[in-house]
A = this chain, B = another copy of it.
Amino acid sequence: MRPLMSNSRLIYDCPDTNADLYYATHFEAPDAVLFLEHKGKKYLVLSDLELERGKKESSVDRVLSLGAFIEKAKKRGQKGVIGVIDTLLKDFKIKKLSVPQSTGFTLVDALRKKGYAVEAGDHPFYPERALKTPKEKKWMQEAQKTVFKAMAKAEKILRESKIVKGALKWRGKILTSERLRFEIENFLLQEGYHTIMQPIVSCGLQATDPHCLGSGPLKAHQSIIVDIFPKNDKTKFFGDATRTFCKGKASPELKKMYAAVKTAQETAIKKIRAGINGKIIHQAIVDAFKKAGFQTGTIDGAKQGFIHGTGHGIGLEVHEEPVRIAARDFILKAGHVVTVEPGLYYRKIGGVRLEDIVCVTKKGREPFPTYPKKLEIL
């Protein structure tokens, strides 16, 4: 972590979508609020509508009245967000401040015009957010446990389905990606989770595109990727896991692919410990796939093989920086919580991805909930 020039940090954004702001305040709001951290103390500037709730629910040291600052700004002949921020900074005698790199440039331009030295903060703005506390780890384990309960539900539906002319029938109806996704989401809702992004339930050719949500009837004897990443309503932490199933017998090629991905994931997980470079883990998977005969590259005009990274940081965001286990250098630290999700995608065979969450410790990994890995549902 590089030292900060200033001892004042300012965020103007929505706590519901800015994970750093939520992390700093534990305050939920759908609209933009003003946050200041100065000399180690935290302040929220809230409208009359939010003032009382802010005092009750937020974790900041003091909640200030936006209305009062608007009045004060008006007396100085200023208005708007800039007028309020200027008034706030003058009150605190702040001339230098750091803001998130994502801060809108028109806001920063206006502050600089008023003579403030505005510098870019770290990304994430609170880098310590990447290193999970015991309480946060517990919340993430709970989330992951629920993800696997949802996975079990999906597997049960596939097990209960009958194969009819290559399609799947469940409770008298053709089973679609949409239906299976609904059953997963409905279960998560009951458990107090929301799917900010919908779960992936993709089959056949669709499953060879890792970002395809999946739609239409699920097919027998083809790989079905189920990727679930919901957010807990209360803790705001995400879980994230993927399993690949095949209803009915799988082809020998698909079985071989599944075995390769399973071995690759085990290899990667075993390598995880504080101090290792994520690049080395990623390269080990690339090499293992190559050795097993699974090439990555452009085939028939489309990228096929192992076409994404091995993992990413996760927490208050589902893809959380700075952690990436991929082709770039990144040293893992104790307290990082990351996904490990190798996959193989070939248009002629299908897609296979297996994903678990791992918490990095000094010597290796901390136990996290997991779920059996078995391709065929007969």
A interface, CB within 8 angstroms of B: 16-17, 29-31, 48-53, 99-109, 118, 120, 182, 185-186, 189-190, 194-198, 209-212, 233, 302-303, 307-308, 318-319
Contact = CB atoms under 8 A, between A and B. Distances in A.
A174 B233 CA distance: 21
Contacts of A233: 198
Contact of A103 (B49, B104, B118, B195): B104
A211 B308 contact: no
A127 B318 CA distance: 31
Contacts of A302: 52
A53 B303 CA distance: 12
B104 A101 contact: yes
A186 to B, nearest CB: 6
Nearest to A195: B194
A30 B108 contact: no
B50 A211 contact: yes
Nearest to A102: B104
12 contacts: A30-B197, A30-B318, A49-B210, A49-B211, A52-B302, A53-B212, A102-B104, A103-B105, A186-B189, A186-B190, A196-B196, A198-B233
A211 B103 CA distance: 25
B48 A319 contact: no
B319 A30 contact: yes
A100 B105 CA distance: 9
Nearest to A192: B178
A49 B48 CA distance: 46
A53 B209 CA distance: 8
A198 B194 contact: yes
B189 A185 contact: yes
Contact of A48 (B189, B307, B318): B307
B17 A17 contact: yes
A307 B49 contact: yes
Contacts of A29: 211
User: Which 5 A-B residue pairings sit nearest by Cβ, starting from the closest?
Assistant: A105-B108, A105-B105, A48-B303, A101-B106, A102-B104
Given A53-B209, A105-B105, 10 more contacts: A30-B318, A49-B303, A49-B307, A49-B308, A52-B209, A100-B104, A186-B190, A194-B195, A194-B198, A198-B233
A39 to B, nearest CB: 24
A84 to B, nearest CB: 15
A198 to B, nearest CB: 7
Contacts of A53: 209, 211-212
A294 to B, nearest CB: 17
Contacts of A308: 49
Contact of A319 (B31, B185, B303): B31
A190 B181 CA distance: 10
A308 B30 CA distance: 15
A61 B361 CA distance: 48
A107 B307 CA distance: 27
A86 B307 CA distance: 26
